[in-house]
Amino acid sequence: MRGKQVIKLTVNGEPYEVEVEPHMTLLEVLRDKLNLTGTKGSCGVGECGTCTVLVDGKPFLSCLTLAITVRDKNILTIEGLARDKKLHILQKAFLEHGAVQCGFCTPAMLLTAKALLDENPNPTREEIREYISGVLCRCTGYVKIIEAIMSAAEEIRRRGSEYE
């Protein structure tokens, strides 16, 4: 087919070479080409934030990001958040605080929260509210999500590590 290109990406620390068409989104590449279905799609128009992944540490809407624009970048998806079978402290906090219900926004929420804590290890409630405002959740009412992020931030500061 016309216009196919091979791009290099690093996803969750693993190098990939993927053949993509110019119109393909990062979301399609992750889910369909790399079989990383932890990244979810929903609105397709950049409104709900469900498809958020981290590109070089910053939250990106993978449904609006053309795959060819992130060549040679470092991408973190939810599958790469746990390390050596150990959950990230944010993942543990989400479970322990009841911040997960249906779980469909959870990958995006967790990655957005990680980007926040990488930038700002000691955020206020207001700063958390603002930072996660791009990710919709229909189940929880956000209260426990904010509590979980507050608690994880404290735990990470205390340990000096994102993992136990």
Is 139 among the residues that bind another protein (CB under 8 A)?
Answer: yes
Is 13 among the residues that bind another protein (CB under 8 A)?
Answer: no
Alpha-carbon distance of 90 to 100, in angstroms, equals 12
DSSP-derived 3-state class of residue 89: helix
Is 150 among the residues that bind another protein (CB under 8 A)?
Answer: no
Q: Are 99 and 148 in contact (CB under 8 A)?
A: yes
Is 44 among the residues that bind another protein (CB under 8 A)?
Answer: yes
> How far, in whole angstroms, is CA 126 from its chain's centroid?
20
Is 127 among the residues that bind another protein (CB under 8 A)?
Answer: no
Q: Determine which residue in the list 14, 19, 47, 118 makes contact with another protein, applying CB under 8 A.
A: 47
Is 144 among the residues that bind another protein (CB under 8 A)?
Answer: yes
DSSP-derived 3-state class of residue 20: strand
Dig out the tokens for 158 from the structure: 């205390």
- Residue ranges that bind another protein, judged by CB under 8 A: 35-45, 47-48, 50, 77-79, 81-82, 87, 91, 94-96, 98, 100-107, 110, 129, 132-133, 136-146
